[in-house]
Amino acid sequence: MSEVFRMFENMQEAAFVIDERRNVHFANNAAGALLDVPMRKLASGRPLESFVRFEPGLLEDGEDLAGVEQPSQVREIEFVTPNGKVGFAQVSVQAFPAPLQASLAADGHGRRWILYLRDVSLEKVLHNKYRGELDQKEAVIGDLEKARAELENYSKNLEKMVEARTVELREANRLLAAILDSLGQGISVFDREGKCLPVYSKSAERMFRAAPAGAAVADLLGLQGAERETFDKWVEAIFAEMLAFDDLAPLGPSKLSREGRHIAVDFHPMRGEGRSLQGVVLVATDKTEEMRAREEAERERSFAKRVTQIARHRPQFRMFASEAERILGGMAALLRGPRDPDGEALARDLHTVKGGAASFSLLDMVDAAHACEGALTAYLRARAPGAPWPPELKERIAEGAESMRRTLGDFLETHGYLTGGPFAGGARAVEVPAATLADWRRRLKDPSLAAGLSGEILRDWLQEPVSKSFLHADGSMKELAASLGKRVKPLLIEGGDLRVLPEAFSDLFATFVHAFRNAVDHGLEAPEERAAAGKDVEGQVAIKFERLEKNGVTLLKAEIRDDGRGIEPGRVRERLERKGLPVDPSASDDEIIQAVFLDDFSTAASVTGVSGRGLGLSAVKWQAEKMGGRAYVRSSPGFGTVLAVIVPDPSCDRAGGVRLAG
């Protein structure tokens, strides 16, 4: 470092010695502190711009260092360092005086300039602060003067302003009333006493058939007895704000029906100063058209599902339709005849038709069958032994049977194409290639070739895999499970390749729909219950087929099992005792659970459209015994239930009218 530069070391202002390319050859302590850079690094000959950047430039536009002889005018400019420091400095540049420059030249240095920086960042900040405060004070003073003038003007025109404000409020109230009336919703406000305030919409008056003002909101909602007591306690809790309004609001009434209209009810808080609850806004919305639209959409969805189900399972639908027509036609004729029918058999037939219709989403038939079931089972439970049937009940069920038959007939007439061709009694159609028919004709002409043709036709053309009779059950099970909030895996069919004559088992197989639906409804648990028990949240229903030989008779055995909660023997005993049926104290658990086959016996707590009347398994057992077979159940509480059905197999030549021992 040249001795010439030492004169700058103790200066309080930052000083830099630079050449004409602005390379720094010396910087004093103040410069290092300002830029937060070591002096040695500053005096390394690097460009000034590598340590600091000035905005705007160091010199005026068009000037350069070579032209600076006299000290430049002091300028206040912003500077920025590479490490992000931003500040303001007063900057001046001057060339070294000739004597000093000569000394530098003697030491081998070129021409040099001195750059002075005086940090005024703090002064700048304080100046701006004080300027801002002054501007703010001036603005406040201006606002006060303006306010004073306005206050004087307001005082002079107060009466006119009050009158104008009154008109505005009147117009605002009129506008608010018009808005309320245009919403089409019933809006009313009630206080902590449950009384409605004078504010309400015209729609509220129409929906509630009364002017809400001054009325008890419970009366508007048509609440009586226990419902009214519960509502009054709810209102008390709402205004006491025991819990957040949003938590308590859902506990209030949510809907009401008036003259066939479906009205949804919502509640909203009306708060005053301090956020305290001053009232509750009741909003009633007529959902009738929306519900009709949803019902229509559901009907369309059901129809689409029905079409898909029938198109995929034409043979099974034809079999169902044939069986339903036979049952319903015979039922109507029997009920209009002189003799009283067998009530239990009638109930089983209705339940079978309902289950089959549900499998193909024929909801009108399901509803009609369910209504007939309800009337029939209510009568059978109250009927005195030997009492004749009321003619009006027989006629009601006969009309229901004919209505279901007409519904099915109309569907078949309109959508017969779905069954694969004209529907003639539901007979199963088998397509045989012309070449095969020609071969049969040729073999029939030759006795030596005709041998065995009958068995071949039975085996290859008339019999079919038993699984085909149950392909449609899977969709019905999944739909039922979804409606119950349950989850079920696809139906597992074991031994499904076993070939049978479908017509021989049509009546029996038609009753299996009850077993599938019972397994989903009674057997399988809800997902959360299954998870708590360590089970897969999706339940499994399976059916297994096998052929047996007993005493020279070929038998077909079917087992329908589920992995649900099983049958509790204690619950069955309790149900039997409650119904006044005899219970053998020495009967084993396996023996006692066979009561599920009794007519009018069910472990369900209530009757629903799915189950609860105790008819499903009764129909299965009755059909099995009608074929000379039997049905029984096995169950492991907590692990599932197995329904076993064993019947002679008419599909095989050796099957005869042999009844199986129980």
Given its phi and psi angles, is residue 363 left (phi above 0), alpha (psi -120 to 50 degrees) or beta? alpha
Q: Is the domain of 544 the same as that of 633?
A: yes
Residues 215 and 347 in one domain: no
pLDDT at 430: 78
pLDDT band for position 588 (cuts 50, 70, 90)? very high
Q: Are residues 317 and 406 in the same domain?
A: yes
End-to-end CA distance of the chain: 122
Tell whether 543 is covered by a domain: yes
Kindly report the three-state secondary structure assignment for every residue of 389-407. CCHHHHHHHHHHHHHHHHH
Q: What is the pLDDT of residue 498?
A: 94
CA distance 651 to 502: 8
Q: Which of 419, 445, 476 is the last residue of a domain?
A: 419
Residue 151 located in a structural domain: no
Token pair, residue 515, equals 């077993």
Q: How confident is the model at residue 165 (pLDDT cuts 50, 70, 90)?
A: low
Q: What is the pLDDT of residue 167?
A: 60
Residue 154 lies in a domain: no
Residue 488 lies in a domain: yes
Q: Mean pLDDT over all residues of the chain?
A: 82
Round to whole Å and give the CA distance between 476 and 463: 25
Q: Give the model confidence (pLDDT) of 274-286 as tens digits.
A: 788 888 988 888 8
In angstroms, the CA 452 to CA 483 distance is: 51
How would residue 166 be classed by pLDDT, with cut points 50, 70 and 90?
A: low
In terms of domains, do 309 and 241 share one? Answer: no
For strand 75-80 and strand 261-271, is the pairing parallel, antiparallel, or unpaired? unpaired
Which of 69-78, 162-171, 361-370 shows the lowest per-residue confidence on average (mean pLDDT)?
A: 162-171
Cα 354 to Cα 359: distance, rounded to the nearest angstrom: 9
Tokens of 170: 């009147």
524 and 643 housed in the same domain: yes
- The mean-pLDDT minimum among 199-203, 475-479, 592-596 falls in 199-203
pLDDT at 181: 55
pLDDT at 341: 84
Q: 608 pLDDT band (50/70/90 cuts)?
A: very low
More confident site: 552 or 261: 552
Do the bridges between strand 541-550 and strand 492-494 make them parallel or antiparallel, or are there none, so unpaired?
parallel
Q: How far apart are CA 512 and CA 620, in angstroms?
A: 7
Residues 214 and 318 in one domain: no
> What's the pLDDT score for residue 298?
75
Please check whether residues 490 and 630 belong to one and the same domain: yes
Tell which residue, 30, 26, 33, 32, has the closest CA to residue 10. 30
Confidence check: pLDDT of 635 > 80: yes
pLDDT at 17 over 50: yes
Domain with 345 in it: 300-419
pLDDT at position 418:
65
| Most confident listed range (54-58, 243-247, 569-573) | 569-573
Residue 436 lies in a domain: no
The tokens of 484 are what? 């119950």
Angle between helices 158-182 and 121-156 (to 10 degrees): 90
Residues 480 and 586 in one domain: yes
365 conformational bin, left if phi > 0, alpha if psi -120 to 50, beta if neither = alpha
659 occurs within a structural domain: no
Cα-to-chain-centroid distance, residue 500 = 43
Co-location of 473 and 591 in the same domain: yes
Whether residue 474 sits in one domain with residue 360: no
Count: domains in the chain: 4
With contact defined as beta carbons under 8 Å apart, do 13 and 118 qualify?
A: yes
CATH classification of the domain holding 561: 3.30.565.10
SS (H, E, C) 347-392: HHHHHHHHHHHHHCCCHHHHHHHHHHHHHHHHHHHHCCCCCCCCHH
In whole angstroms, give the CA distance from residue 596 to residue 600.
9
SS3 (DSSP) at 186: strand
CATH assignment at residue 106: 3.30.450.20
* Buried residues in 311-332 as b, exposed as e (16+ CB within 10 A): eebbbbbbbbbbbbbebbeebb
Answer whether residue 429 is part of any domain. Answer: no
CATH number of the domain that residue 388 is part of: 1.20.120.160
Q: Between the CA of residue 439 and those of 115, 434, 449, 455, what are the distances in Å?
A: 118, 9, 10, 15
Gap between the Cα atoms of 566 and 263, Å rounded: 42
Q: How many C-beta atoms surround the C-beta of residue 361 within 10 A? A: 21
Do 415 and 563 have their domain in common? no
Which of 221 and 6 is assigned the larger pLDDT? 221
pLDDT given for residue 288 in this prediction: 80
Sign of CA dihedral 534, 540, 543, 546: negative
Arithmetic mean of pLDDT, 185-202: 86
382 has a pLDDT exceeding 50 = yes
Taking only the tens place, the pLDDT of each residue in 29-49 is: 888 888 888 878 888 888 988
Task: Assess whether 501 and 628 both reside in one domain.
Answer: yes
Is 609's pLDDT higher than 60? Answer: no
Counting Cβ atoms within 10 Å, is residue 651 exposed (0-12), middle (13-18) or buried (19+)? buried
In a domain, 380, yes or no: yes
* Residue 248 reports pLDDT greater than 70: yes
pLDDT in tens, 388-420: 888 888 889 889 888 988 888 888 877 766 666
Q: What does the pLDDT average to over 245-253? A: 87
Q: Which of 119, 139, 157 is the last residue of a domain?
A: 119
pLDDT at 352: 81
H/E run at residue 127: helix 121-156
User: Which is it for the CA torsion 32, 36, 39, 41, positive or negative?
Assistant: negative
Q: Where a domain ends, among 286, 312, 342?
A: 286
**Rg of the chain over CA atoms, in angstroms?**
48
Burial of 149 (0-12, 13-18, 19+ CB in 10 A): exposed
Residues 620 and 643 sit within 8 Å (Cβ to Cβ): yes
